[in-house]
Amino acid sequence: MSLADYQQRVKTLSDQLIELQRPIRILDAIKWPATAQAQFLASNGSKLPDVDQAYYHRIKLDFDPMVLRDRFLMLRREVQRTLGRKDGLGGILTDTIDQYLLVIELLRTRGTVDFGRHSRALYGSARDHLRGDRKSLRQLGEKLCEIFSLPAAEHLSRPYSNHISAPAAVEILQQRLGNYFQPGDIRVILSDGIVSDAAAGGDYIKINQDSEFTEFDLQVLEVHEGWVHVGTTLNGRKQPWASWLSVGSPRVTACQEGLAVLMETLTFSSYPRRALKVSDRVVAVDMAEQGADFVEVYRFFTERGMAAKDAYKITQRVFRGGTVRGGSVFTKDLSYLRGFVENVNFIRSAIQSGVPEILPMLFVGKVTLDDIPTLYQHYLEGTISGPHYIPAMFRDLNGLYVWFGFASGISVINMARVQKHFHSLFKDMPKVAPLYDKVIDTAVV
């Protein structure tokens, strides 16, 4: 077939996929009532939340699972018939359809032991090994928790208290993101219907009207929710043929969340307490997977000094959709750490393999890392458009190349020996020095 005919077929199938997935809203289907937190904290964290299978049955899905399943299967056959079983873009479409078939089963089994099985199939398990390494996600999570829980980490965050109100945060973020996006492409709005402090939609960011923020929080939201989540959605919407790149099934979650955390790091927007959240989520998922119930996971974090509301939030994220007695839980929160490691390794590998020009494709839409070589080939032939919104360090790759080139080069050094040498210099230093007071005094002088 001609290139024009091929592109039109991709467009038709992509639009059908977008239409079929439209009523699927995973987080809306497993959300807990706002009253659950108040009731749990009122019991001093001693009573399991009253969220069971019957509760989830009262949250009606916006689709008939069996009808939608059959329509996805029909589309799957149509993709293979129209594009062929060996076509690269057809393979990505087929894998995406398979993910939505699993999502239907996930939501159909809310509040049961099967929910956890489907969640692991979609998002993985905390006991999974990192690609190309023997360490599990839980092991890496524990190591990072140790690093980000050191006294010095808390000291660094101390001067940055929550003092920016939600309405002020909306105005600040709207102004900053207006400098990154074209006028009218993104909205920042107040919301009273989200559990987290903020959440990204297709062309908007919701800010929880009951939350307060630090300057660091706003920096994180700007790059994490704005540049990555909204940016890749808008880039996907600008695709002339591969319109499915504007929507994300769970198969792209690790790449998306990992890229967002990486951008926090590359722009120096993150901070130790934020990084600790990412690591804590891995530990919470593993405990719940291994059978700890809601109260046990909650108490694990409060006994480590976490505030009661924060401990509830991280625990609730893991248990939503599953069973509060443990074993069957929502493992999506593994995506942040897994995706961060995989994105870093992807970038390092692209540089060492001599193909850094492929890296901007991370922002072309909602993708997995394994999709990118195929998408890049079709970009060269004209079926895939390059990303419109790209952070500066991915637009001019020189600095990124040098940064990750050095990182790859020094990875051969024996860090244990290096650390042993410097530890002898650090051992007599106070564990928490009044760093900021000194800096402020010097600045005033």
11, 147: one domain: yes
Per-residue pLDDT band at 161 (split at 50, 70, 90) = low
pLDDT at 151 over 80: no
State the chain's mean pLDDT as an integer: 91
277, 422: one domain: no
Q: Give the pLDDT confidence score for residue 94 in this predicted structure.
A: 97
Cβ contacts of 281 within 8 Å, gap of 6 or more: 141, 314, 317, 318, 333, 334, 336, 337
138, 37: one domain: yes
Beta-carbon count within 10 A of 243 CB: 21
pLDDT at 431 over 70: no
Q: Give the pLDDT confidence score for residue 422 in this predicted structure.
A: 82
Is residue 335 included in any domain, yes or no?
A: yes
- Mean pLDDT on 319-332: 97
> Could you list the residue range(s) of the whole structural domain that residue 118 is in?
3-156+270-410
Cβ contacts of 56 within 8 Å, gap of 6 or more: 29, 30, 110, 111, 321
317, 432: one domain: no
Beta-carbon count within 10 A of 132 CB: 9
Task: Write the pLDDT tens digit of every residue in 15-43.
Answer: 999 999 999 999 999 999 989 999 999 99
Beta-carbon count within 10 A of 424 CB: 8
How many CA atoms are closer than 13 Å to the CA of 83, on its beta-carbon side? Answer: 25
Task: Say which amino acid occupies 248.
Answer: G
Is residue 71 included in any domain, yes or no?
A: yes
> How many separate helices (H) and strands (E) can be counted in the chain?
22, 5
Is residue 233 included in any domain, yes or no?
A: no
How many CA atoms are closer than 13 Å to the CA of 250, on its beta-carbon side? Answer: 26
293, 363: one domain: yes
336, 367: one domain: yes
395, 420: one domain: no
Is residue 180 included in any domain, yes or no?
A: no
Task: Write the pLDDT tens digit of every residue in 351-365.
Answer: 999 999 999 999 999
Is residue 67 included in any domain, yes or no?
A: yes
Task: Please state the domain count of the chain.
Answer: 2
DSSP H or E run through 190: strand 187-191
Task: Write the pLDDT tens digit of every residue in 42-100.
Answer: 999 999 999 999 999 999 999 999 999 999 999 999 999 999 889 999 999 999 999 99
Beta-carbon count within 10 A of 367 CB: 23
Is residue 330 included in any domain, yes or no?
A: yes
Nearest-angstrom CA–CA distance, 107 and 111: 9
364, 329: one domain: yes
Task: Write the pLDDT tens digit of every residue in 230-289.
Answer: 999 999 999 999 999 999 899 999 999 999 999 999 999 988 888 899 999 999 999 999
118, 124 contact by CB (below 8 A): no
Task: Write the pLDDT tens digit of every residue in 286-312.
Answer: 999 999 999 999 999 999 989 999 999
405, 420: one domain: no
Is residue 192 included in any domain, yes or no?
A: no
- Alpha helices for 149-293 (secondary structure H): 151-157, 166-178, 215-221, 231-237, 253-266, 272-289
Cβ contacts of 4 within 8 Å, gap of 6 or more: none
DSSP-based three-state secondary structure for 165: strand
385, 299: one domain: yes
13, 126: one domain: yes
Task: Write the pLDDT tens digit of every residue in 184-195.
Answer: 999 999 988 677
54, 87: one domain: yes
Instruction: Compute the chain's Rg from CA coordinates.
Output: 23
Is residue 196 included in any domain, yes or no?
A: no
